[in-house]
Amino acid sequence: MSENNKTTTSIIIAILAIAIIGGGVLIYNSSKDKDMKSDNASMMKKEDSVMVGGAAMYPSKDIITNVSNASNLTTLVTAVKAAGLVPTLQGPGPFTVFGPDNDSFAKLPAGTVETLLKPENKEKLTNILTYHVVSGTYKSTDLKDGQTLKTVNGQNLKVNVVNGKTMINGAMIKTADVLQSNGVAHVIDTVLIPEETTTVGGAAMYPSKDIVTNISNASNLTTVVAAVKAAGLVPTLQGPGPFTVFGPTNAAFAKLPAGTVETLLKPENKDKLTSILTYHVVSGIYKTTDLKDGQTLKTVNGQELKVMVKDGKTYVNGAMIETPNVLQSNGVAHVIDTVLIPS
């Protein structure tokens, strides 16, 4: 064989070798890609994802990341973003979220959602959304008939199990036990609306709670609470009533002569203290709209109070109502700026 033929043969062999090696690498990489895709698919399947709104909810992802992919939860996601709660619900938790679907929001009166999403209503929106969140992980098997759950907004939810269906404050759980990396979510069919509350002394006053339970949480009513306890009137004011209570603030008691409160709180002065306190209580419910200028109200101690309305302010025996119409389960309370002293 000539030198030229030898050279040509060597080149052809080298080219074939490169082609074989290259083909092998391509085949190996292709096989590797298929294996990786297969492994990823296998891992996804192992997560036992639940389908919500056409999207898989993965237990390895947080609540917000998951629900953001569900086509039937878009209104809820928009609301969470408007309330600035995304960082919270992406936090470690754990949380149990009862998530209303789009149909739930559509059942609200026309314009409600649009109004709630306005920046000036952020606080109210937050109050509603946090009423759907409970600290801890409560799967459907943990929810028992008659159970109460304390929400992040401070109010309670009531659990009922009817015909095998779990209800939360009357809202039915449509899709249960959607596991998340930071808790669990249940899709419900109704938006949960918390009680409208009034804030007194930094504390929310709940219409579902009695007068004593509510005012015991108000930082500006500690003196009247101490007096009610000293007079033994707690059982009465926790009774069915209904009552209208004119509650003097701490500042109102501070206006009395030095030592007056301390003297009244002594056991030997219980009758006098009781007379003063019952002079602040009227049987029945009188909201400010029921109080007319010149009207008289008969108190529980038997004496009367005189109502005066001046410049849009309502006064009782000269004491101004600072915070009106604080609704209670057994009546209504008005916070006043002066202690009423019976004759």
Question: How many domains in the chain?
Answer: 3
CA quadruple 16, 22, 23, 27: dihedral, nearest 10: 160
At 39 the pLDDT is 46
At 18 the pLDDT is 44
Contacts of 274 (CB under 8 A, 6+ apart): 231, 232, 233, 301
Structure tokens at 65: 């990341």
Same domain membership, residue 261 and residue 133: no
Structure tokens at 147: 């159970």
Same domain membership, residue 67 and residue 20: no
Same domain membership, residue 23 and residue 59: no
pLDDT digits (tens, 9 = 90+) for 4-60: 454 445 544 444 444 444 444 444 444 445 544 444 444 444 567 789 999 999 999
Structure tokens at 334: 């008005």
At 46 the pLDDT is 55
Give CA separation, 134 vs 182, 184, 191, in Å: 12, 10, 15
Contacts of 137 (CB under 8 A, 6+ apart): 93, 94, 95, 96, 183, 184
Same domain membership, residue 176 and residue 257: no
Region 280-286 average pLDDT: 97
Spatial separation of the C-alpha atoms in residues 123 and 116, rounded to whole Å: 9
Domain end among 144, 168, 188: 188
Domain end among 188, 220, 238: 188
At 47 the pLDDT is 63
Indicate whether 87 belongs to any domain: yes
Same domain membership, residue 151 and residue 203: no
At 10 the pLDDT is 52
Same domain membership, residue 130 and residue 204: no
pLDDT digits (tens, 9 = 90+) for 169-227: 999 999 999 999 999 999 999 999 998 888 899 888 989 899 999 999 999 999 999 99
Indicate whether 193 belongs to any domain: no
Indicate whether 145 belongs to any domain: yes
pLDDT digits (tens, 9 = 90+) for 91-122: 998 999 999 999 999 999 999 999 999 999 99
* Opening angle at CA 110, ends 106 and 113, nearest 5: 65
Indicate whether 343 belongs to any domain: no
292 phi, psi to nearest 5 deg:
-110, 150
At 14 the pLDDT is 46
Same domain membership, residue 180 and residue 161: yes
Indicate whether 138 belongs to any domain: yes
Same domain membership, residue 316 and residue 303: yes
Spatial separation of the C-alpha atoms in residues 119 and 244, rounded to whole Å: 36
If DSSP states are collapsed to H, E and C, what string results for 288-299?
HHHCCCCCEEEE
Range of the domain at 309: 198-336
CB 180 within 8 A of CB 63: yes
Spatial separation of the C-alpha atoms in residues 327 and 330, rounded to whole Å: 8
At 74 the pLDDT is 95
Better-predicted residue by pLDDT, 125 or 2 = 125
pLDDT digits (tens, 9 = 90+) for 241-273: 999 999 999 999 999 999 999 999 999 999 999
Indicate whether 295 belongs to any domain: yes
Same domain membership, residue 56 and residue 110: yes
Instruction: Identify the bridge partners of residue 30 per DSSP, sorted by sequence position.
Output: none
Nearest to 249 by CA among 342, 338, 340: 338
Same domain membership, residue 83 and residue 136: yes
Domain end among 188, 209, 238: 188
Indicate whether 125 belongs to any domain: yes
Average pLDDT, the chain: 88
246 phi, psi to nearest 5 deg:
-100, 105
CATH number of the domain residue 268 falls in:
2.30.180.10
At 43 the pLDDT is 43
Contacts of 115 (CB under 8 A, 6+ apart): 121
Indicate whether 342 belongs to any domain: no
Same domain membership, residue 205 and residue 175: no
Beta-carbon count within 10 A of 329 CB:
16
3-state secondary structure of 339: coil
DSSP 131-196: TTEEES---GGG--TT-EEEBTTS-EEEEEEETTEEEETTEEEEEEEEEETTEEEEEESS---PPP
pLDDT digits (tens, 9 = 90+) for 310-342: 999 999 999 999 999 999 999 999 999 999 999
Contacts of 197 (CB under 8 A, 6+ apart): 204, 205, 206, 207
Same domain membership, residue 209 and residue 176: no
Beta-carbon count within 10 A of 137 CB:
15
Spatial separation of the C-alpha atoms in residues 334 and 225, rounded to whole Å: 14
